[in-house]
Amino acid sequence: MKFLRWLIMAFGLGIIFCLIVIITPVDKTPLNESRYYQLAQQKLDS
């Protein structure tokens, strides 16, 4: 039973780690997003 508990804990930590890895690049690169928004606005204006 202890092994099963460790397995579930490791699985949960893995999911949390994956979420952090997926979420952090979005926070680290706001410049790229703003550039995309600027390009989109320019296309809408023209």
pLDDT digit string (tens) for 1-42? 889 999 999 999 999 988 887 776 655 555 566 677 777 777
Q: What global pTM score does this model have?
A: 0.42
Cα gap 18→35, rounded to integer Å? 26
- Render pLDDT for 20-31 as a digit per residue (tens, 0 to 9): 877 766 555 555
Question: % helix / strand / coil in the chain, to the nearest 5?
Answer: 95, 0, 5
Cα gap 19→4, rounded to integer Å? 23
User: What is each CA distance from 37 to 1, 10, 29, 46, in whole angstroms?
Assistant: 52, 39, 13, 14
